[in-house]
A and B are shown apart, each in its own frame.
Chain A
């Protein structure tokens, strides 16, 4: 298949050898699971259990709220110890609403859990509904509710389902191992999604540094033979950020996603292999999303591994099961090193979107004090979006956020290629994150202002209307009084006589 070039990008050392030889393993259950109510983009889920309640594995413990949201299920059987707050899986270290579950050790599934015998006979709406009920979100890290993406067929003309097996972030090997070890199940999930989307073409795109995964998926597709959508397994060139959804689609189709749009605008929907696996388990077995595969790696980890862990497992538990730290890590990262979030401590739970836990040494992060920009243009060459990172950062630094927006701040995908190559070690992504956050806050403030103004105007109108009604009522009464002169005029006259 012909592939198309993307602009820019970088070639970081992939460091996948640390963990790509380790098969996916399960861990013993930790003493407590801390399951956050928000593990997805959108509204947080609302608790559906009481403290002290016994729950089975896969039982709903928090239901979704609103159009973009996802429910949360019990990762194992046990007792609800509390519904409170716990450290977020987030750089801020703040606390978020969390359900704490004490496993009973039985790991007993909810009774009556069963899948559909033939998902392909189901209506697309029914598939999307089951995916939604299973709490499945984009497991590549974006955590966007998958059912919403499956429903895009209603609004867009779609032709292709692309599976993003690029895994272009260094260190991460969880998708690689999943495709190698469970190619049939992953492919089944992919085909169910393709059926739900009603597309005729499936492209399974994997970076060339994963020959085993490429082989396994190609074999699985060949075994299946010609049925349903046409399936191609594509070997992608190794270049970061190949796994950026929009750049992946450009590589595959030669088309850029229009600015501020979705890949669906050009007829393509992108899903992650781990999401496909979760869809397979939800549809075939009726299992909701209660665990995920995660890579625990980095030079500070004694034995890097790929683990299938129940959601809510403390990160420290994972690290202990990987032999602990060999040296004190300089940085703890959730996700990959290029776009992952720094974690303030290991006292955070695993969530649906965390595909990697990395403990990196200073030699790996290669951090340095920033120095002034020398305008070398390395960032411009590295930017896959055709932006001028140095100028955007300069405008942001000077407080001219509108200037940064005019230069394309909102077209920045935050891939970090610019900061990766910057010889002056300028924290460019930090500038852009700040500017984006600030612009969003300003947007919200403005919206609030307009909303307040609207409410004030409405109130003024309401008061005006009430007063008008009063005036009219009064006028009506007067008119009424005037139209019945006799009986009213008399007492009035009498009164005046009395007064006189």
Chain B
């Protein structure tokens, strides 16, 4: 009966229970997010051709490089942190939110802002208040409005008018913008037409085709165009329980509700819910950006409030503010509210009432008098 001594535990601090784990890890979570983004991304890259492929590659590579650099400066272990995939997803989301024909330095500068400024300055993974990709997008939009609002009309790789690799290189790295290759997004065009004094009906007729928006054969940011593929990715995340339904449903619900109400009141001024849901970054935002784990509330009720706030703000910005699209602004404003929501909206503790006192039952059972 030779006795066995467990390695490590006798001399070190005992390992507390549980002695089992679900197998969840940050890397796996990020991997699933990337997988969910894949269809919409592949579609976007194909649809916008070489410039998009080059911009995407440069942006993601820059994000990883900046992450490695920041980790080294912060004296954190580079490999494990880099392998957790968070920088990959940040760079990926940023690339998807850029105009596909944007020059390379937009991607690099965006990655620098996202990773260094919005993430590591706050203390690295888990510590950032705002969604890094959206901080970068908003900073770029304000600093470089021309580059950030010149959208290429699609020239899919499989079509006649597709750009070759050389032309693609010229667009991304040479600053060349071929004539007749820029168009507007649905939201931008409708907004412009309305500003010119046009009625909503004709404006929509020229710019908005719900079916094309759903499929994604429209102009826009690199990865936001295909509503159907983004929805597919979102459903995959729900199925794999990376996200829960609370934020997407409350965000899309609030947006659709407001759009429907205003549309019913004045159909000539306010477009319907479908227009809002399939245009712009609505679905990308609802499933992939607002649901960012770090910057959204932790309780389910908090997530409902957060999502509804995002939907409300998206609607207000699109309808009344100076920008045609407002997902990035809306999410960032709600990110700022997250600590407040988390402070005030907490689950009820077992055995206690909402105010924190022990539950009381006014009947026969219980302690004898």
Contacts and interface: CB of A to CB of B under 8 A. Distances in A.
Interface of A: 7, 10, 12-13, 30, 91-93, 154-159, 170, 246, 255-261, 264-267, 314, 316-317, 319-320, 325, 328-333, 337-347, 358, 360, 364-369, 371-378, 380-381, 383-388, 390, 408, 411, 414, 416, 419-425, 427, 429-430, 433
B26 interface: yes
A93 B21 contact: no
Contact of A332 (B4, B124, B294, B297): B4
A386 B348 contact: yes
Which 9 residue pairs spanning A and B have beta carbons closest together?
A: A267-B365, A377-B298, A416-B18, A430-B16, A91-B14, A259-B351, A386-B347, A385-B350, A366-B21
B142 interface: no
Contacts of B125: 371-372, 374
Contacts of B179: none
B166 to A, nearest CB: 42
B349 A385 contact: yes
A315 B84 CA distance: 40
Contacts of B15: 331, 342, 367, 427, 430
A438 to B, nearest CB: 14
Given A317-B1, A425-B25, A339 B365 contact: no
26 contacts: A157-B364, A259-B352, A260-B358, A267-B366, A337-B18, A341-B17, A345-B4, A345-B10, A347-B3, A358-B19, A371-B84, A374-B125, A374-B126, A375-B295, A376-B294, A376-B298, A380-B298, A385-B350, A388-B298, A388-B347, A390-B298, A416-B17, A421-B24, A424-B26, A425-B21, A427-B15
Given A256-B350, A423-B25, A429 B293 contact: no
B206 interface: no
Given A10-B22, A157-B368, A375-B126, A325 B4 contact: yes
Contacts of B14: 91-92, 341-342, 344
Interface string B9-34: 11000111111111111101100000
Interface string B331-365: 00000000000000011111110000111110011
Contacts of B367: 155-157, 264-265
Contact of B6 (A319, A329, A364, A381): A329
B303 to A, nearest CB: 8
Contacts of A329: 4, 6
Given A331-B6, A372-B126, A385-B349, A338 B20 contact: yes
A337 B16 CA distance: 10
Given A343-B6, A375-B126, A380-B298, A429 B349 contact: no
Contacts of B347: 7, 380, 383, 386-388
A93 B293 contact: no
Contacts of B81: 371
A320 B3 CA distance: 10
A416 B9 CA distance: 19
A332 B336 CA distance: 46
Given A314-B1, A339-B17, A367-B21, 11 more contacts: A7-B350, A259-B350, A320-B1, A330-B7, A332-B6, A337-B18, A338-B17, A344-B6, A365-B19, A408-B349, A430-B15
B318 interface: no
Contact of B9 (A154, A342, A375): A342
B19 A259 contact: no
A373 B127 CA distance: 8
Interface of B: 1-7, 9-10, 14-26, 28-29, 80-81, 84, 86, 124-127, 244, 293-295, 297-300, 303, 346-352, 357-361, 364-368
Nearest to A332: B6
A431 to B, nearest CB: 9
Contact of A423 (B9, B28, B80, B358): B28
A258 B300 contact: no
B299 A420 contact: no
Contacts of A388: 298-299, 346-347
A333 B19 contact: yes
Nearest to A256: B351
A433 B15 CA distance: 11
A259 B358 contact: yes
Nearest to A360: B19
A384 B124 CA distance: 30
Contacts of B127: 372
Contacts of A425: 21, 25
A10 B295 CA distance: 24
A371 B26 contact: yes
A156 B21 contact: no
Contacts of B358: 258-261
Nearest to A359: B4
B127 to A, nearest CB: 7
Contacts of A30: 1
Nearest to A419: B18
Of the candidates B23, B359, B366, the one having the most CB atoms from chain A within 10 angstroms of its own CB is: B366
A158 B84 CA distance: 53
Contact of A316 (B1, B10, B352): B1
B11 to A, nearest CB: 9
A306 B17 CA distance: 23
Nearest to A366: B21
Contacts of A423: 24-26, 28-29
B31 to A, nearest CB: 11
Contacts of B20: 12-13, 170, 337-338, 360, 364-366, 420
